[in-house]
A and B are shown apart, each in its own frame.
Chain A
Amino acid sequence: SQQGEEDPQALSIQEGENATMNCSYKTSINNLQWYRQNSGRGLVHLILIRSNEREKHSGRLRVTLDTSKKSSSLLITASRAADTASYFCAPGTGNQFYFGTGTSLTVIP
């Protein structure tokens, strides 16, 4: 399946710092989504970037997509303790997308 692989698996930063998470995938995609999951909860959609887009912003989130390298990154600027969660990428092809194993982000107050 077209599963994304996030890197790093875990990330710990101080409040106010920026957090960068990366996602790699193996085959061609139509789009890529990022989701967030607070511990023991369902996932929440953050942003979708299409294969013909290189960068997209939403509030403190910035997503990039490099289809030649089959990779995407999620940048959270000026992190807050409330950003502590797991973040998943989901590369999409056709009607399906598949979630990666996630990056666990801890923001220390």
Chain B
Amino acid sequence: DGGITQSPKYLFRKEGQNVTLSCEQNLNHDAMYWYRQDPGQGLRLIYYSQIVNDFQKGDIAEGYSVSREKKESFPLTVTSAQKNPTAFYLCASSVRESSYNEQFFGPGTRLTVL
């Protein structure tokens, strides 16, 4: 069953803690993306990766970090430097980075800072 998975579905964090959100895909896609969505808002790009061991900052990368050690995995760490981390986080992948390629989305992780 091919697809893209994210875990956990819900995550609670205390202020000052780092947390890591998991994103895995078995679609053999080269490109992967992390977005943040706030209530009633569109998606804002945090980081993206075109290939293993390479990633680029998106529009709102401050306070976040990523790694791409394997093609299938693109974890996102929300650091304590992120001032307002409570949001819905979506991971996506596409065959390659191109505006012509559709992106496939995971089900999302809802992060709440207590």
When distances are taken between beta carbons in the complex, the residues of chain B under 8 Å from A78 are: none
Query: Which residue from chain B places its CB closest to the CB of A100 in the assembled complex?
Result: B42
Q: Does A45 reach chain B (CB closer than 8 Å)?
A: yes
Q: Report the contact-size class of chain A (Cβ under 8 Å from the partner).
A: 20 to 34
Q: Does A22 reach chain B (CB closer than 8 Å)?
A: no
Q: Does A85 reach chain B (CB closer than 8 Å)?
A: no
Q: Is the CB of A42 within 8 A of B90?
A: yes
Q: Does B84 reach chain A (CB closer than 8 Å)?
A: no
When distances are taken between beta carbons in the complex, the residues of chain A under 8 Å from B98 are: 95
- Quote the shortest CB–CB distance from A45 to chain B (angstroms): 4
Q: Is the CB of B90 within 8 A of A31?
A: no
Which residues of chain A (65-109) have a CB below 8 Å from chain B?
88, 92-102
When distances are taken between beta carbons in the complex, the residues of chain B under 8 Å from A41 are: 107-108
Q: Does B97 reach chain A (CB closer than 8 Å)?
A: yes
Q: Is the CB of B59 within 8 A of A30?
A: no
Q: Is the CB of B100 within 8 A of A48?
A: yes
Query: Which residue from chain A places its CB closest to the CB of B99 in the assembled complex?
Result: A92
When distances are taken between beta carbons in the complex, the residues of chain A under 8 Å from B102 are: 33, 45, 48
Q: Is the CB of B42 within 8 A of A3?
A: yes
Q: Does B105 reach chain A (CB closer than 8 Å)?
A: yes
Q: Does B106 reach chain A (CB closer than 8 Å)?
A: yes
Beyond contacts A1-B59, A42-B108: 13 other A-B pairs, Cβ-Cβ < 8 A, are: A29-B99, A31-B100, A40-B108, A42-B4, A42-B90, A45-B102, A88-B42, A92-B99, A92-B100, A94-B99, A95-B97, A101-B40, A101-B42
18 contacts between A and B (CB under 8 A): A1-B59, A29-B99, A31-B99, A41-B107, A42-B4, A42-B105, A43-B43, A43-B90, A43-B92, A50-B100, A94-B99, A96-B99, A97-B99, A99-B43, A100-B42, A101-B41, A102-B41, A102-B42
